[in-house]
């Protein structure tokens, strides 16, 4: 069932989230005690919008810890697969949701919760379904696997009113190529929070990666960043 216009969360809320920086870190947390020092390290590097995925059992309590103790962070939930994921994350304090694909059920659930949703798409049909339900800021996922920059360029004309946050396989080196596209508001990436750095508690390394991410939008496709 399509989302009714009266229930739609304004797209400006998600676009505001995208305005905080060129990269939204895609965070996988295995140990809840890592959540706060990791978020603090990212904040120290000027990255305040954090996507904590539900790929591990620690994801939900990590969101709750960050939301409770670090209100200056804009913590969201990733890997939202159904309405229950959205409900539990909203109760934990998530301020936005990200899904790997799009279904009307997930869209409707997020609208009912007043939880801004960044829906994942990989095809033109999925874009049309998301647009029909009121979503025009979308996540291209998995970006590199489905065509990446070439696909986004081919969509520029038929979907001129759609903007994107490509995620999946994007690196520090490839991010400037995506960010150079006019319809790309930001990118999602896991390179800001390397698993080995989290395991080692190397928060200084994560802060350095966060700081470096701010230059990516201006780095240009030919940069070695």
Active-site amino acid positions: 51, 139
Hey, how many other C-beta atoms are within 10 angstroms of the C-beta on 34? 19
CB 184 within 8 A of CB 164: yes
**CA 39/CA 182 separation, integer angstroms:** 29
- Nearest by Cα to 131 from 102, 110, 165: 102
Please name the residue that has the structure tokens 């939880």.
Answer: 115
- Nearest by Cα to 141 from 118, 159, 168, 119: 168
Q: Which residues contact 84 (CB under 8 A, 6 or more apart)?
A: none
């Amino acid at each position: 069932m399509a989302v009714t216009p009266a229930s739609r969360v304004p797209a400006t809320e998600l676009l505001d989230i995208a305005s905080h920086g060129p990269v939204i870190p895609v965070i996988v947390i295995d140990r809840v005690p890592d959540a706060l020092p990791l978020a603090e390290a990212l904040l120290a590097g000027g990255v305040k919008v954090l996507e904590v995925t539900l790929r591990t059992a620690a994801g939900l309590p990590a969101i709750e810890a960050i939301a409770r103790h670090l209100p200056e962070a804009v913590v969201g939930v990733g890997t939202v697969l159904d309405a229950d994921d959205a409900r539990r994350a909203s109760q934990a304090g998530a301020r936005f949701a990200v899904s790997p694909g799009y279904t009307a059920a997930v869209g409707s659930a997020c609208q009912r919760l007043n939880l801004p949703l960044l829906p994942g798409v990989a095809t033109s049909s999925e874009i049309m379904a998301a647009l029909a339900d009121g979503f025009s800021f979308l996540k291209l996922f998995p970006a590199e696997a489905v065509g990446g920059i070439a696909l986004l360029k081919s969509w520029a004309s038929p979907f001129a009113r759609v903007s994107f946050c490509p995620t999946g396989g994007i690196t520090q080196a490839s991010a400037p190529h995506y960010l150079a596209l006019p319809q790309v508001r930001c990118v999602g990436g896991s390179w800001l929070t390397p698993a080995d750095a989290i395991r080692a508690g190397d928060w200084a390394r994560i802060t350095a990666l966060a700081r470096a991410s701010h230059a990516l939008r201006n780095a240009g496709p030919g940069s070695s960043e």
